[in-house]
Structure 1
Amino acid sequence: MLVRYFAAAAEAAGAEEERIEVLHEGDTATVGGLADLLVARYGPTMARVVANGSFLVDGVVRRDRDAPIGAQVDVLPPFAGG
């Protein structure tokens, strides 16, 4: 799957996008599994992003950790403003 990072998420990952292989069900096949993988890979800065931000899975906002992921996931930090 293609994972794209924006703003603080890109800073934490050190890249704007990367390909992550979904190995099997229960690994990175859910939003929660992907979040855990990103935190393990990129540390406390990414932990803050995934705790307060959101995931767009194939263009749809997903906040449920059990939601399946698709071909593309955008990792978005929380945005301020109105």
Structure 2
Amino acid sequence: MACRDVGEEARSRHRRPEVPPAGAAHVRDRRVTGVLQVRYFAGARAAAGGVHEESIGATSLDDLATVLVERHGERLAVVLKAASFLVDGLACHDRRAALPAGATVDILPPFAGG
């Protein structure tokens, strides 16, 4: 007998059971909402009541804006309309694009000067 317990069948130890692949999740499905780290800068921080950073569940920038306005009020809504968003350090202009779970979103209000 080679390396088997008594009564153990001869089978591959590394075989995975047949599991069908998962289908693509719909972006609007709230059950697949990713948790994002949101960081506020300058006027956005002031409009959010001084919060520097928080975790939010959202699937897109539009979805994120809705959640943030519900949480912090209309003052932040005004800032978000003119703000720039960085997703993991890269500018994101499409507010309907799907956001990766675990991403860091920086909210940058327009700055004065030139």
2:40 maps to 5
d(CA) in 2 for partners of 1:58 and 1:68?
13
- What is the one-letter code of the residue matched to 1:6? F
Q: TM-score, normalised by structure 1?
A: 0.83
- Counterpart of 2:94, as a letter, is D
1:29-51 Cα shifts (integer Å, max 9, x gaps): 10110011111111111011110
- State how far apart, in whole Å, the 2-side matches of 1:60 and 1:35 are: 18
Gap runs ≥5 in structure 2: 1-35
Corresponding residue for 1:38?
68
Higher helix fraction: Structure 1 or Structure 2?
1
Identity %: 51
Cα RMSD, aligned residues only: 1.2
**TM-score (normalizing by structure 2):** 0.62
SS in 2 for 1:18: strand
The structure that has the greater radius of gyration is: 2
Hey, what's the Cα distance between the residues in 1 that align with 2:38 and 2:45? 10
Pairing 1:3-82 to 2, within 5 Å after superposition:
3-14=38-49, 15-20=51-56, 22=57, 28-70=58-100, 71-82=103-114
| Distance in 2 (alpha carbons) for counterparts of 1:63 and 1:36 | 17
Give the distance between the partners of 2:98 and 2:42, measured in 1 at CA: 24
The alpha carbon displacement at 1:79 in A equals 1.1
| Equivalenced residues, count | 76
Distance 1:53 1:80 in 2: 13
